[in-house]
Amino acid sequence: MIVMRRQNEFQRVKHSGKSWVHPLAVLQVIKNSLSYSRIGFVASRHVGNAVKRNRAKRLMREAIYYHDSNILDGWDLLLIARPTLGNCKVDDVISAVYYLLSQSHLLIKADIKNAR
C-alpha cells in the first residue's frame, strides 16, 4: 500500500470520490488507473492540537497496515479522522476501518460478522 504524497491526488479523491461515514472516521474512495492501491491520511485542526492529530494519523496507519493484505488493488483511499478518534484505543480504530472498508466493498473477502 503506497502512501499518497501529491496535493492534486488528495484533491482528486476529496473532490470526486465516494464517501462512507463512521463515528470515528470518514473514508473516501475513487478508482485509479494503477495496478495498486494508494492511501492518504487526513487529520484537520478540528481533531485537536498537534499531539492529537499525530496520534490520529498513527492509529489510522496502524489500522490500515493491519488490513493491508485484504484490500483490493487499483483504488485511491482517503481516511479522514473525526474529533473523537484521538481518544480511542487501536482496536476500536481497526474495527472502524474494517467497517468502512466492508461498506465500500474494497475487501477481498468480507466477514460481515466482525464489522462494527
Partner RNA sequence: CGAGCAGGUUAGGCUGUCGCGCUUAGUGUGAGGAAAGUCCGCACUCCAUAGGGCACAGGUAGUGGGUAACACCCAUCCGCCGUGAGGCGAGGACUAGUAACACAGAGACUAAUGUCGACUGUAGGUCGGAGUGAAAAGAGUUAAACUCUGCCUGGAGCAAGCUCAAGCAGGGACGAUAUUGAGGCUGCCCGCCCAGUCCCAGGUAGGGCGCGAAGAUAUACGAGGCAACUUGUGUACAAGAUAGAUGACAGCUCUUGACAGAAUGCGGCUUAUAGACUUGCUCGAUAG
Partner RNA sequence: GCGGGCGUCGCCAAGUGGUAAGGCAUCAGCCUUCCAAGCUGACAUUCGCCGGUUCGAAUCCGGUCGCCCGCU
Residues that bind RNA (CB under 7 A): 3-7, 10, 40-42, 49-51, 54-55, 57-59, 62, 65, 89-91
Smaller CB separation from RNA, 10 or 20: 10
Smaller CB separation from RNA, 92 or 110: 92
DSSP-derived 3-state class of residue 101? helix
Give the residue from 24, 28, 16 showing the smallest Cα distance to 104. 28
Query: Amino acid identity of 66?
Result: Y
Give the residue from 73, 74, 70, 67 showing the smallest Cα distance to 108. 70
Smaller CB separation from RNA, 9 or 115: 9
User: By the 8 A CB rule, do 27 and 79 touch?
Assistant: yes
Place of cell 474494517: 98
Which grid coordinates are listed for 44? 484537520
Smaller CB separation from RNA, 91 or 111: 91
